[in-house]
Homo-oligomer: A and B are copies of this chain.
């Protein structure tokens, strides 16, 4: 694998297939105005938050039911034309691009919360429900769904990418929180995987096979999720450290001691400076940890005391605490503004996000070497991390018209990923493989495991119509 091809931005490998007029006619006959071939609609569905570009899909079907999805897939299968499921379009890895042509199936109108089982702490939703809409619906029940990728992504999309976010250190990722699925297979059949029971040993774990399969094995139409009681008490803290290493060492000790911390996010000094400038804050210009504790009042107090002690041992200072929702929001603003602050720090730039995740004992090594490399490169960047999980994101702020900068960013990402894999980590903690990391997947998992994935793909989708050209070449 050569570094220059690792991050081949803006030039995905195209293998366009023909979409016969007969298919478009059949879709229009079946879906009427819910099938659009307008260029604006197709263009909107042919891109995502990645920096890739490809021709738009030939048509967009707005599905309003599982039956709509099944019928659209069955028609596409009949003509061997690719289908690409679309939620809100927030993929960072090119998942939504029609690199082999085909049609987009937009599930955003499938936005009903189908049942809330407060007694069982489960909820069943249609795939187009977004995480924020779900939490809005749950508000009156005293329950919440904790998984929070940056975007207000659809639950279907979060399932497809095995998403996580800031709460994963305590509540797990989509891997741990999807209990059951309804899926439309490559032939347009509707199947169900899993049950609402908390555990099961009944056959192959098709649920977990679908979670993270990026639309390449089927279209997720319904999702049953675990939900959680809103904690009785919540406390948040911000703490500055003399170095990234000190912040990371503190995090490692928090996890090792088994403190049930809910969130622990790192911002490097660059990011703190950018946020101060953008949001007119006066945060100490040092690396910082943002932390949140959930539990009973006594447990939260105890967690906070333990963490404060650990942080102090590593030179952590300027602790600031927040326990009301308003104060917490103010504290978390630094984290939430990081991306926009970074983008604004270099007008016209584009942020290229990395997504490595390593065992936590290797986090300091992985981070420090990578910081040294990017500092030496001269590329502006920000660095934020879900450090409790060993997952972090550099955002390289490149001039999209400067080929040299792009090449430098590619080389930095390549070195970073190779380091993470060497340290027994992964090239992607939460964004997925998409178009971006196919070669890295081979390096990480080995040719044998990737062959096994490809064998499964071929068996379940013999015509290769389910979001083809993603995960593997």
Contacts and interface: CB of A to CB of B under 8 A. Distances in A.
Interface of A: 117-122, 161-164, 168, 172-173, 175-176, 185, 189-193, 195-206, 208-209, 211-213, 217, 228-229, 231, 252, 255-258, 260, 295-296, 298-299, 302, 355, 357-362, 389-391, 421, 424-433, 437, 440-441, 444-446, 448-450, 452-453, 455-460, 471-472
A252 B455 contact: no
A445 B181 CA distance: 11
Given A119-B361, A211-B205, A200 B299 contact: no
Contacts of A173: 199
A244 to B, nearest CB: 17
A231 B205 CA distance: 31
Given A229-B257, A459-B458, A201 B429 contact: yes
Which residue of A191, A302, A452 has the most chain B CB atoms within 10 A of its CB atom? A452
A449 B206 contact: yes
Nearest to A224: B424
Contact of A204 (B202, B258, B437, B453): B453
List of 5 A-B pairs having minimum Cβ-Cβ separation, nearest first: A459-B459, A208-B208, A119-B361, A200-B426, A191-B448
Nearest to A386: B199
Contacts of A421: 195
Given A201-B432, A212-B201, A428-B201, A449 B191 contact: yes
A249 B385 CA distance: 41
A212 to B, nearest CB: 6
A71 B378 CA distance: 52
Contact of A202 (B196, B260, B358, B441): B441
B359 A120 contact: yes
A456 B204 contact: yes
Given A360-B119, A361-B120, A448-B185, A201 B430 contact: yes
Contacts of A208: 175, 205, 208-209
B429 A199 contact: yes
A202 B433 contact: yes
A434 to B, nearest CB: 9
A141 to B, nearest CB: 11
Contact of A195 (B217, B424, B453): B424
Nearest to A187: B448
Contact of A359 (B122, B205, B295, B440): B122
B358 A389 contact: no
Contacts of A206: 445, 449, 452-453
A192 B449 contact: yes
Nearest to A447: B191
A175 B199 contact: yes
A229 B256 contact: yes
Contacts of A176: 172, 176
Nearest to A450: B203
Contacts of A457: 204
A209 to B, nearest CB: 5
Contacts of A229: 256-258
A41 to B, nearest CB: 29
Nearest to A360: B120
29 contacts: A117-B361, A119-B256, A120-B360, A120-B361, A190-B448, A191-B452, A192-B446, A197-B391, A198-B359, A198-B389, A198-B390, A198-B391, A199-B426, A199-B430, A201-B212, A201-B426, A201-B428, A202-B427, A202-B441, A202-B444, A203-B441, A203-B453, A204-B209, A205-B209, A260-B260, A296-B299, A296-B302, A455-B459, A455-B460
Nearest to A355: B201
B431 A201 contact: yes
A204 B197 contact: no
B196 A424 contact: yes
A456 to B, nearest CB: 6
A293 to B, nearest CB: 12
A256 B202 contact: no
B357 A445 contact: no
